[in-house]
Amino acid sequence: MSKGSGRILSILAIGLIFLLCIGSGVLIGVISAALKSMPALEDFEYRPIEATRIYDVNNKLISRLYIENRVWVPLSEIPKELQDAVIAVEDWKFRDHHGVDFMGIIRAALVDIREGKIVQGGSTITQQLAKNAFLTHERTWTRKLQELLYAIQLERTYTKDQILELYLNEVYFFPGQAVYGVEAASQGYFGKSVRYLNLPESALLGGILRNAYIYSPTQHPESAKTRRSVVLKRMALLGYISEDEAQSAMEAPLGVIEPRPSKQIAPYFVDYIRDYLVSKYGHETVYKGGLKVYTTLDLRLQNLANQILLSNLPDGGKDSKGLTQPQAAMVVLDTREGYIRAMVGGRGEDEFNRAVMSYRQPGSAFKPFVYTAALQAGYTPATILDDSPVEYVIPGQAEPWAPVNNDKKFRGPVTARQALEDSINVPSVKLLDQIGTSNAIKMAKSLGITSLVESGRLNDMNLSLVLGGLTRGVTPLEMATAYAVFANQGIKAEPVAILRVEDANGNVLERNTPKRQVALDEQTAYVVTDMLRGVITRGTGKSANIGRPAAGKTGTTTEYTNAWFVGFTPELVTCIWIGNDVQQKPMIYGGTRIGSGKAAAIWGAYMKEALKDMPVSEFPVPSGVVFSKICTESGMLAGESCPNTTTEVFVEGTEPRQLCYLHTRIQEVDVCAESGQLAGRYCPPDQVERRRYLASNGLRILHDGTIAQGQSIPRVTCQVHTWWTTDSHSARSQESLEPEDSSFSYEDNPN
């Protein structure tokens, strides 16, 4: 070894020692910090278990969260094969280590460092027990360290068999249903006690506990089977069983029974708040801590939702997971406070809550957001849009895009109201093109649509936005939240599910008040509401007519893959979605196509019942809104001769001021500006103006098309400029005192 390399080595050695000193200092610091925030060791004792109770808005019990039928089984009654299966896949060195597998931790730590966060478990059975039983499931370094320290303590206090017994009785098998321990799991999956499990059943149960969602034998039998094979192979590898035993066990059927139907009233809502509670208060507190959770749910409205939604859905048979299709979701919100009054996340009680987790194409139910943005940009319900063929060149696409209407017809000029009420696509696309997609997206976001995609290769910054062709889609809860803004005079209320949480001693842990903010001016909100009322009274949502003030919008996507109705009264906003879990599967059953008409009919049936005891209330008309009689063909102020007129609502200042030019008879008269009288032949030409008057009442129409009240058509010829007042009178004859007929002309312009 050369002198130089010796020097390098000693520098390296000094450096290493230095690093170790710093490292151990840091380690001591971290350990002492972890120790300080650790619960006391006395907490190792099992505390009395008390269920958490969930109440509705009238303090009626909805559900209890507790550890269902946990039956403690001593290790001696747990089959050896199950014990071996768990050890084989979870912690094969369990019998040898002292609670912590340091090599495993180093391996896991390397992965964690590479990923920049804690991803790998590297946990022994003892550590998992420590974590499940005593700590929350946060993934932080402090928690990880506490888990190690607890694990070492556990190993010093208990024997290996005691630890395994605790673990198997504590382990969390059914995350959704709060069932703990091997006995409860065995009863749940196989309908028999854990004592009677055979090898394939033991291997299945041992494999599931890593992830009860992914490996669920009832919901994902294929992955459960694969997992069981992994367990069996590993058991054979470790010598617990022979290769032959493993092979024949792999071929055995799963043998699981149908999951027991529970009699939950609001399973998806309970899941929804349970997930929140667990993330905030930890698993232990929620399942054993005896919390009282007061929610916004109204059991009457919830029961009604279950009953009306589920009894009106078509039966498309069961899918491969045993779930009836098509699926559906429903959200009912109090419009003022955003309180969730009812939530149905599907037809069964599965883990997938379609009311909040399912992102689907909204179709035309998205249109109101675009029309709202247009109203804010100065458009009105009376604005004339052009329903005629159009093509848009799409960058990167060979063919231009030519949007079509559902009935494949073009109507020519239509009012914005008609385009929205009848859900006409082409003028809606043109409207979006005029106001710009970024304005529409901005509006949708401020109303509460959070899932829009604004950048990236696939995004929502294009004209198909108005037809609800979204990159990601929207959830029923998002749609209900956004529509509630219209019903709530422009105020957006965040959805609230929990009013108050109390601990077992009645101390208030949290209290929620409505989170409200202005998202839209109340005038625009009113005008949109009024247009959406027309959808129900005249347009595509007639099946949702409930005989009281209500507004809403339909949405059906291509090939009947999604059917929506989102609607509201002054009291409640309700969103209904129907669709297959397989997104592209059309809903055509026995020749019947399921579209938004079905959703609208269910909405109507529900709202009628839900509101039957509430007095009928009107949408309040805010100040700053005006009503004008307009011509529906021109969108302008109605004249006497307009064939089709209607009283339209406007944000003050946007109402039309010009008289319908299509149907109004106008009289044009030459007037002397100086006298305001009929121009005579002696008026100087630069004083003579051609003025326009309404034929019906003789009022003057100004240049901007507005009517000048008090300026009537003159009847007398100018008395300022006469033959005797002009210098040139000698050139004129006295006969010309009469007005000239030629100065009158009728402009009759029917269309």
Which residues form the interface with Zn ion (CB under 5 A)? 631, 634, 642, 660, 662-663, 672, 675, 683, 718, 720-721
Q: How far apart are CA 5 and CA 8, in angstroms?
A: 5
What are the Cα distances from residue 644, in Å, to 377, 424, 568, 616, 633? 27, 20, 29, 31, 7
Query: Residue 75 or residue 695: which is nearer to Zn ion going by CB?
Result: 695
Catalytic residue among 364, 423, 446, 634: 364
Q: Do strands 292-295 and 52-55 pair parallel, antiparallel, or not at all (unpaired)?
A: parallel
Helices 125-134 and 80-90 pack at an angle, to 10 degrees, of 90
Query: Residue 249 or residue 631: which is nearer to Zn ion going by CB?
Result: 631
Direct distance between the N- and C-terminal alpha carbons of the chain, in angstroms, rounded to an integer = 105
Report CA Rg, the chain. Answer: 37
Number of helices and strands in the chain (H, E): 21, 25
Q: Which of 334, 332, 354, 352 is nearest to 342 (CA)?
A: 332
DSSP label at residue 252: S
Query: Residue 241 or residue 660: which is nearer to Zn ion going by CB?
Result: 660
Query: Residue 69 or residue 696: which is nearer to Zn ion going by CB?
Result: 696
Helices (H), 241-384: 243-251, 267-281, 283-288, 299-312, 354-357, 367-376
Nearest distance, CB of residue 750 and Zn ion, angstroms? 9
Question: Which amino acid is present at 242?
Answer: S
**Cis before residue 48, ω within 30 degrees of 0?**
no
**Cβ neighbours for 370, distance < 8 A, ≥ 6 positions apart:** 428, 431, 432, 435, 440, 443, 465, 466
**Cβ neighbours for 517, distance < 8 A, ≥ 6 positions apart:** 491, 492
> Does 90 qualify as catalytic in the annotation?
yes
The residue assigned the tokens 């198909």 is 464
Nearest distance, CB of residue 673 and Zn ion, angstroms? 8
Catalytic residue among 90, 183, 421, 522: 90
Strand partners, 360: 474
Q: Which of 285, 310, 734 is nearest to 504 (CA)?
A: 285
Determine the length of the chain: 751
What is the SS3 assignment for 46-58?
A: CCCCECEEEECCC
Backbone angles phi, psi at 179, to 5 degrees: -105, 130
Q: Which of 402, 411, 406, 400 is nearest to 363 (CA)?
A: 406
Q: Which of 670, 689, 685 is nearest to 726 (CA)?
A: 685
Query: Residue 112 or residue 633: which is nearer to Zn ion going by CB?
Result: 633
345, two tokens: 């996340």
Q: How far apart are CA 748 and CA 718, in angstroms?
A: 27
Helices (H), 40-123: 80-90, 102-115
Query: Residue 621 or residue 720: which is nearer to Zn ion going by CB?
Result: 720
Query: Residue 510 or residue 740: which is nearer to Zn ion going by CB?
Result: 740
Strand partners, 576: 330, 565
User: ∠ at Cα 569 (564, 571), nearest 5°?
Assistant: 120
Instruction: Render 513-569 in DSSP notation, one character per residue.
Output: ---EEE-S-HHHHHHHHHHHHHHHHTSTTGGG--SSS-EEEEEE-GGG-EEEEEEE-
Nearest distance, CB of residue 714 and Zn ion, angstroms? 11
- Strands of 345-497 (E only): list them: 384-387, 412-415, 491-493
With beta carbons less than 8 A apart as the criterion, state whether 316 and 239 touch.
no
Query: Residue 229 or residue 645: which is nearer to Zn ion going by CB?
Result: 645
618, two tokens: 């009107």
Q: Which of 569, 549, 493, 489 is nearest to 523 (CA)?
A: 489
Element holding 174 (H helix, E strand): strand 172-174
With beta carbons less than 8 A apart as the criterion, state whether 697 and 671 touch.
no
508, two tokens: 């208030």
Helices (H), 293-406: 299-312, 354-357, 367-376
613: number of Cβ within 10 Å: 7
**Residues annotated as catalytic (active site), given as ranges:** 90, 364
